[in-house]
Structure 1
Amino acid sequence: MQWMRFRHGGEEGFGVRDGDSVQVHRGDLFGSHAPTGQTLPLAGLAWLPPCRPGQIIGLWNNFRAAAEKNGWATPAEPLYFLKSPHSASAHGQAIAVPASYDGRVAFEGELVVVVGRQARAVSVADAPAHIFGYSCGNDLTALELLHRDTSFPQWTRAKSFDGFAAFGPVIETDFDPAAATLRTLVGGRERQHYALADMFFPPAELVSRLSHDMTLMPGDVIFCGTSLGVLPMKPGTTVEVVVDGIGSLVNTYG
């Protein structure tokens, strides 16, 4: 099933995408819910991020091809950072150039894991039961902030400007990352094309390992990291992240 959130007539709602329409539901996306019987055309809706994350966790150096190309060591454990929950942005939403930063900003097409149940110190075997589904993501980075202060790498700031965690358009609950590929198109030109099976730490292992560090809650999202092809982009650039079986996330930067 493909779950989505939307705004219609000034009200927020959620439901199951069915082609060019959505079957509206009431209740809690991660708890008890039921269809209302109302169906709305997608054309009349504003997309919202498909869930409201309490935590946004991003992975660094989680793909073998990128590690080999860049001379990075194989990580012994997941290397991750946190992004502000307020950096979340939706499919179709414009991402503004930060008012306090005028340097280079890079796109990063990524798979996003959406947590569906509270996870605390779960095993790898039990982790899939805590995954609600998957989405497409674009983890934007203010490149020149990362190491501008040599005494303090600014991962949080560089990753947390408004809109810098785009994900959507939906959460797909029936998806096998090991059999899928991700493509990123920038201004219509393919810049990334990689197999999701190339991860050092696939989704179930990520959920397990992270849950031993912190409690994961329903709606939390994990950006699984990216592979080769990341580049800076100019204001006015449209980026499309495509994962067959999930859909296409499209945003314009600036």
Structure 2
Amino acid sequence: MFSFQTECSLSETIIPQPTTIIKVIGVGGAGGNAVSHMASSGIAAFEFICANTDAQALSNTRTEHRIQLGEGGLGAGSDPAIGRESALRERAAIADALKGADMVFLTAGMGGGTGTGAAPVVAEVARELGILTVGVVSKPFEFEGPRRMRVAEEGVATLARCVDSLVVVLNSRLEEVLGDDITQKRAFAAADEVLCKAVTGIAEIITVPGLVNVDFEDVRTVMRQTGMAMMGSAQHRHAGLAHHGADVFEIDVDQARHGDDFRDPG
């Protein structure tokens, strides 16, 4: 009769996995608000960074790492050219903030000066560092006017060429879901939450264990130079937003990638 003994304990058989370093940078007012919302939600898996031309708005963000874009500190005056120039002057500071990251989420509101103009510069720096770069941005609400929407369209087109994947939240559709009686304050708060869910929804594929083992390299393979991405959530305190979750993203569900996506068999 043979008897077998093993000297190997469970702890000895577990191979430690390298930690994926994820940084989230909010650019401009809307991006800073979204990152502050994430930081206040107690998400510990990310490093949060804010960059803005508006010194006062930057000082009010709930992040320890802040980058002042430009010298005046008075904002970009809704001019993307000023936002871009301000970011170009701070390329070294942006690079220092992003170094060491495996993945960067860049969040911003399109249509203003800083988010529209500076976000592509931040994305270019991240890509030059070899970092997987995912943009999560919003287009304006209808009450913000047609000019802001035109600027946003141009900004999205520019940013799409600078990131690996881009998720665009349509605040105008979010406005439809929330109803005409929604206040501007609540509308912007809802937009912050959608941006937050978009970032965490993608990042949790890597950071939260699931039934399907998905690591960072899997995500890199799928998202590297994907272009427009699609994601949605079926959970929300507002029943209408849960039902119409996919409607607030600028890509038809039929256009979403098939075969290479991550699915939970449960």
Shared fold (TM-score, shorter chain, > 0.5): no
**Larger-Rg structure:** 2
Question: Which of the pair is proportionally richer in helix?
Answer: 2
TM-score, with structure 2 as normaliser: 0.26
- If each structure's strand is expressed as a fraction of its own residues, which one has the higher value? 1
Bigger RCO of structures 1 and 2 (CA < 8 A, at least 6 apart):
1
**Superposition TM-score, scaled by structure 1 size:** 0.27
